[in-house]
Amino acid sequence: MLDADVQPEPTAAPATPARPGPTRPTPAAIGALRPLSLDSVSLSPSGQLGQWQARNAAATLPHCIAQLDRAGALNNLRRLTGEHDGPHTGMWFSDTDVFKTMEAAAWELADPRADPDLRAFLDGTAELLARVQDTDGYLNSYVMAERPDRRWHDLHWSHELYCAGHLFQAAVAAARVGVGQVIQDVARRLADLLVERFGPAGTEGLCGHAGVETALVELYRTTGHRPYLDLAQLFIHRRGRGLLDPERFGPTYLQDHVPVREATEVAGHAVRQLYLLSGVVDVAVETGDTALLAAARRLWDSAYLTKTYVTGAHGSRHRDEAYGDPYELPPDRAYGETCAAVASVHWNWRMLLAEGHRRYADELERVLFNALAGASSLDGVRFFYSNPLQLRTGHDGSDEDAPGQRLPWYSCSCCPPNLARLMASLHAYTATAAADGLQLHLYAAGTIQAQVRGRPVTIAVRTAYPWSGRIALEVRAASAEPWTMSLRVPAWCRSHRLDAAGAEVAYTDGYLRLTRDWSAASVVLDLDLPPRLVAAHPHVDAVRGCLALARGPLVYCLEQADLPAGVRLEDVRLDPDAPLGTTAMPGGPPEAVALTATGSVSPAGPAEPYRDPTIPPGGPATPLPLTAVPYFLWGNRDPGPMRVWIPTG
Amino acid sequence: MLDADVQPEPTAAPATPARPGPTRPTPAAIGALRPLSLDSVSLSPSGQLGQWQARNAAATLPHCIAQLDRAGALNNLRRLTGEHDGPHTGMWFSDTDVFKTMEAAAWELADPRADPDLRAFLDGTAELLARVQDTDGYLNSYVMAERPDRRWHDLHWSHELYCAGHLFQAAVAAARVGVGQVIQDVARRLADLLVERFGPAGTEGLCGHAGVETALVELYRTTGHRPYLDLAQLFIHRRGRGLLDPERFGPTYLQDHVPVREATEVAGHAVRQLYLLSGVVDVAVETGDTALLAAARRLWDSAYLTKTYVTGAHGSRHRDEAYGDPYELPPDRAYGETCAAVASVHWNWRMLLAEGHRRYADELERVLFNALAGASSLDGVRFFYSNPLQLRTGHDGSDEDAPGQRLPWYSCSCCPPNLARLMASLHAYTATAAADGLQLHLYAAGTIQAQVRGRPVTIAVRTAYPWSGRIALEVRAASAEPWTMSLRVPAWCRSHRLDAAGAEVAYTDGYLRLTRDWSAASVVLDLDLPPRLVAAHPHVDAVRGCLALARGPLVYCLEQADLPAGVRLEDVRLDPDAPLGTTAMPGGPPEAVALTATGSVSPAGPAEPYRDPTIPPGGPATPLPLTAVPYFLWGNRDPGPMRVWIPTG
């Protein structure tokens, strides 16, 4: 069995055994901050994060479970046991849809109020996997049924190890939550086979789709079985050495073009790159490899300074679902795969734990409140795969990549269950502990119950964030011994006010550090979040002459639905000097804050695509009041054009 | 045998049988203008068009012939006769590389000074094809060898009819030039099989890659065999009715999403769309179908008003090699396939013949002098497949789509032989005849020898166009009867001077119409071509805040090679108010005219990709003299960044 992360909390010894959440470095790991236990934070459904999490439990996760049957992912497994007769359907890595949904179910089961059907789904599916699994531990429905002679032969494209990784993640979640022994046993058998086959005594293989690396480290953390960590390290060291058949897509797509520690730029398939980097950080911190961690930091600079959209989305090219050149960030052709946004949360969370810097929490917030939140419909059962920042007409000509509307499922449906597993564990990403106390990174209504220096602490968080910037904290600690509560001041925040309850206050690295006896104290932090304009780096050619609207962590957009009849979005200009305001979102959730701005509309001029610049491009401009809505809420009303970056002239 | 377009020249009856060039409508066809015979125009190698044509004969065509052997296209045929033992190599439509090269050789053989090896290549290859061809006329090396049981079964993707079309085009060229009976016989056998299989009495098939339609019409024109025209018409009528398996790429990619006459927008795979439209015009004019011609005109508006780059390139998306939305014209991710530029020449030439409007000749000139000319290296043996308007770093990460440098051949090498066949017949696209006289569309040093109302006319054209705007014409006519010589004034030309030799001059539809007795006259047209700035339509989001530089028909670009050390192209700004000048192109051909402009360089500011717009984006601007080079000459010096659209602020 897996020993559910038996190492004690370094800064808090819980009265009852704490259940670790996702990413649980061992005590020996490099780490500035430590994650809290899964049950240390509960989100109130009245807050935005809690609302998303509740919607995930009530709608998204049941929807995913139902789709596993409808789309055939479970039948792909059942045909190996004779329980189903029919061809393999969907992608050759459809097992991951199952595993990710199982992981989501496991995290959800940490909540005692969870639907008991989740446990039945988890256990029943684990039993199915156990029946499918070969005696040597091998498990992959596609290869076992369709390519039995090609086991481990086509690692560049087979996704066998990638699939294994998602199985391990499901098992780790089950172990940490204390449910589902069968899935843990299945995972360990397969993991042991991987060690045998690809470990130091095995063949020099690696996977064309990264992901198993971080999963193996997490499995090591949960079991204490060192060979898993060693194998993850090997997989990372093997990259960039030409061991993968580059075939059609080339080595960059496969993350095999350069050894990780020599890479200077994120490149290739964005999800592969980001999954790999989560594993890189995990291996670096667990092996004390500061040079590898420095490589991750260097690649973070590449990714977040030159290749990330203002929504936190990654991937500028539909072709190869890839990163582009630095500053190649076209809003209309943004690929911005939902899975890349999930992976960006994973990577930034790991960087935050390792180094403690605010920029990682800022990025986590940005991608969560924009690219990620926007991937789901308001009802939680339709999803974007690609998340562009501009929609002119119908986008890509194909239903699957046409984000005029979210779809309930995809032929490659990696994204919906990825959202489900992240949302089910979202509370675990909000706060951390360190030797000096607790750090609050994401503000959400709810309760934090942790231990500081072995003594219980409760923080009740009341806030309507991100709609309001007021965060009210009621702290109760069992001990009067002073400690430090750190509150993030996001980089977007230009002014704030703090009622620190008399605490000693320092401001370092973007955090307000409040030190006092916390036996009973009320703190109020007011982050000012006036509507603001955002400009892009001048090298971002695609949005030159445009500005974006933002408020707090939220990026806004214009939608056709908010324009008067007869006005085309592409004719709208923003007056950058006019005041901005707030209003209720037309047709949106009652709590949603929309922005008001002033612009103009100038009907298109001559039809000629190219003209003498002295000829005016259009007719006289007519003033036009503008309403911008949160990007994450776009596409929930009448479908139509949308844009985040608005021309100013 | 093929009867080499035996119908008489409607406006000119040559003394010796005239050899028709590409696109030869029958006398019954709708047509405002008529093409001249192939031997009516000769280009002087001292002029730009003649230089390109001479380079094609001396370098490109021999290179293509050699590559057919090196890359295996000929061996793919030889293995069917037992002359070669080995697998099929390259694309499943590699036969078209052979056919296009044969077509180029045939056009070249119209020149009595042509290399006799061309004839040997043409005849030898034709004999090989005759040996490969099945008794029923079927001919396709890939299907015959690799998928013998799948003949005509996978029309959406097999390219069988597309390949046949290129064979027909080669045969038509051979017939018109009067060489190569064998290739003509092979083509007719296959064409007759197509009629039997897919004609009115056959199955309702069509090809996933358009191209056979225009080829069948040309074959009809050359043979007078009406079933070929009828079949072309059927193929066009069958589009958009869901007869093709949409498979992975969807119906739009295959041009099967909407019936042609209902289409309002060019869409999908750009080369397929453009090839189809050439066939549409051919069928429309030969069948008198004015509604179909109107559909082509409507789609022309869509293509050239909203989806064409300033270089004349087509295709905004690497994914699916496709058109994007209207005004989606990213310079960096421009696909701009060379074959689409070739196809644009074909389509515009047909529209020009059908309707006579200048805009088609303007477009022909634009694509020829920019996108098309830029696809070849100065030495004529390396080529671009994709023709972007901006290069930041390495483009696409793959060698094949990385236009940092032109490549000698491609795994899908459709473009080089396409260039060869166009360039070999380039002189045929320069002038036309109509009832009232002759029309000069493209200016090139050389001689036009035609007949006007049955009497010989010679026009000697002296010009250094496009470097100079002076076009001097010496006209000699055997008859003193007045007729009209029409000279195109390109839309880019804002002023001109004309010494009309006393002719009566009218200016209609962009042409100077000079009417007089032309028995001996000297005309000088001076098109002013000052350097000028070009702005894009305000809906072209990707180049907002930028201007392009142009002179005459040429679009210019900035290359890193012309910047001082330490200055990055992406930090360069153009001063739109400073005067422009001309200079010799540094490191370029002696005749090439470069442009001078004034700009500035502003080193990049804060590293943050997104900022408060009140924070300056960079350091203080330093004035910088700029040199811009003709786009078609880019990438012939040190590789490095390039851009056509230059930010002004």
Q: Is the pLDDT of residue B2 over 70?
A: no
- Which residue of the set A64, A414, A415, A546 is catalytic? A414
Average pLDDT in chain B: 94
**CB atoms inside a 10 Å sphere around CB A577:** 8
Answer whether A15 touches B (CB < 8 Å).
no
Give chain B positions within 8 Å (CB) of A544. 544-546, 647
Q: Is the pLDDT of residue A153 over 80?
A: yes
Q: Is the pLDDT of residue B577 over 60?
A: yes
As for the ipTM of the complex, it is: 0.93
**Alpha-carbon span A252 to B73, nearest angstrom:** 29
User: Known catalytic residue: A321?
Assistant: yes
Does A322 sit within 8 Å of B611, measured CB to CB? no
Query: So what's the pLDDT on residue A10?
Result: 39
Over the Cα atoms of chain B, what is R_g? 25
Query: So what's the pLDDT on residue A455?
Result: 95
Average pLDDT in chain A: 94
Q: Tens of pLDDT along A420-463? A: 999 999 999 999 999 999 999 999 999 999 999 999 999 999 99
Query: So what's the pLDDT on residue B147?
Result: 96
Give chain A positions within 8 Å (CB) of B324. 332-333
pLDDT band at B154; cut points 50, 70, 90: very high
Nearest CA in chain B to A310: B610
Does A328 sit within 8 Å of B608, measured CB to CB? no
Q: Tens of pLDDT along B517-556? A: 999 999 999 999 999 999 999 999 999 999 999 999 999 9
Give chain B positions within 8 Å (CB) of A539. 570, 604
Does A602 sit within 8 Å of B394, measured CB to CB? no
pLDDT band at A397; cut points 50, 70, 90: low
**Alpha-carbon span B155 to A335, nearest angstrom:** 31
Nearest CA in chain A to B246: A398
Amino acid at B563: L
CA A153 from centroid of its chain's CA atoms = 31
**CB atoms inside a 10 Å sphere around CB A62:** 19
Sort B577 into a burial class: Cβ within 10 Å, 0-12 / 13-18 / 19+.
Answer: exposed
Phi, psi of A496 (to 5 degrees): -150, 165
Nearest CA in chain A to B335: A319
Residue B209: which of B165, B266, B170 has the closest Cα? Answer: B165
Q: Is the pLDDT of residue A206 over 60?
A: yes
pLDDT band at B605; cut points 50, 70, 90: confident
User: Known catalytic residue: A412?
Assistant: no
Give chain B positions within 8 Å (CB) of A571. 538
Q: Is the pLDDT of residue A15 over 60?
A: no
Q: Is B454 left (phi over 0), alpha (psi -120 to 50) or beta?
A: left
Q: Is the preceding peptide bond at A466 cis, omega within 30 degrees of 0?
A: yes
Does B613 sit within 8 Å of A576, measured CB to CB? yes
> Which has the higher per-residue pLDDT, A8 or A519?
A519
A398, A551, A615: best mutation site toward chain B, by most B Cβ within 10 Å?
A398
Q: Which residues neighbour B543 within 8 Å (Cβ) at sequence distance 6 or greater?
A: A541, B329, B331, B536, B645
Stretch B632-639: mean pLDDT, rounded?
A: 92
Q: Is the pLDDT of residue A13 over 80?
A: no
pLDDT band at A402; cut points 50, 70, 90: low
Give chain B positions within 8 Å (CB) of A540. 609
Quote the minimal CA–CA distance from A388 to chain B in Å: 14
Q: Tens of pLDDT along B21-76? A: 999 999 999 999 999 999 999 999 999 999 999 999 999 999 999 999 999 999 99
Quote the minimal CA–CA distance from B282 to chain A in Å: 27
Stretch B617-624: mean pLDDT, rounded?
A: 90
Q: Which of A305, A326, A542 sits opposite B542 (nearest CB)?
A: A542
Across the strands, what pairs with A391? A642
Q: Is the pLDDT of residue B399 over 70?
A: no
Q: Tens of pLDDT along B209-227? A: 999 999 999 999 999 999 9
Answer whether A577 touches B (CB < 8 Å).
no
Q: Is the pLDDT of residue A134 over 50?
A: yes
Rounded percentage of chain A residues whose pLDDT exceeds 90 = 90
CA distances for B581 relative to A417, A572, B444, B629, angstroms? 60, 36, 24, 12
**Alpha-carbon span B258 to A281, nearest angstrom:** 51
Q: Tens of pLDDT along B454-502? A: 999 999 999 999 999 999 999 999 999 999 999 999 999 999 999 999 9
Interface of A with B in 33-92 (CB under 8 A): none
pLDDT band at A126; cut points 50, 70, 90: very high
Query: So what's the pLDDT on residue B393?
Result: 78
Query: So what's the pLDDT on residue B247?
Result: 84
**Alpha-carbon span B43 to B54, nearest angstrom:** 9
pLDDT band at A377; cut points 50, 70, 90: very high
> Which has the higher per-residue pLDDT, A25 or B16?
A25
Q: Is the pLDDT of residue A147 over 80?
A: yes
Stretch B440-462: mean pLDDT, rounded?
A: 97
Query: Which string of b and e fits A307-334 if b means at least 16 CB within 10 Å?
Result: bbbbbbbbbbbbbbbbbbbbbbbbbbbb
Q: Which of B310, B538, B617 sits opposite A538 (nearest CB)?
A: B617
CA distances for A333 relative to A522, B314, B317, B334, angstroms? 47, 17, 9, 12
Q: Tens of pLDDT along B295-318? A: 999 999 999 999 999 999 999 999
- Cβ–Cβ under 8 Å, residues B635 and B643: no
pLDDT band at B401; cut points 50, 70, 90: low
Does A392 sit within 8 Å of B327, measured CB to CB? yes
Q: Tens of pLDDT along A288-337? A: 999 999 999 999 999 999 999 999 999 999 989 999 999 999 999 999 99
Give chain A positions within 8 Å (CB) of B319. 317-319, 396
Amino acid at A198: F
Q: Is the pLDDT of residue B4 over 90?
A: no
Host H or E run for residue A222: helix A212-223
Q: Which of B252, B534, B610 sits opposite A610 (nearest CB)?
A: B534
Give chain B positions within 8 Å (CB) of A613. 533-535, 547, 576
B318, B325, B631: best mutation site toward chain A, by most A Cβ within 10 Å?
B325
**Alpha-carbon span A283 to B486, nearest angstrom:** 75
Query: So what's the pLDDT on residue A607?
Result: 82
Answer whether A438 touches B (CB < 8 Å).
no
Does B268 sit within 8 Å of A538, measured CB to CB? no
pLDDT band at B394; cut points 50, 70, 90: low
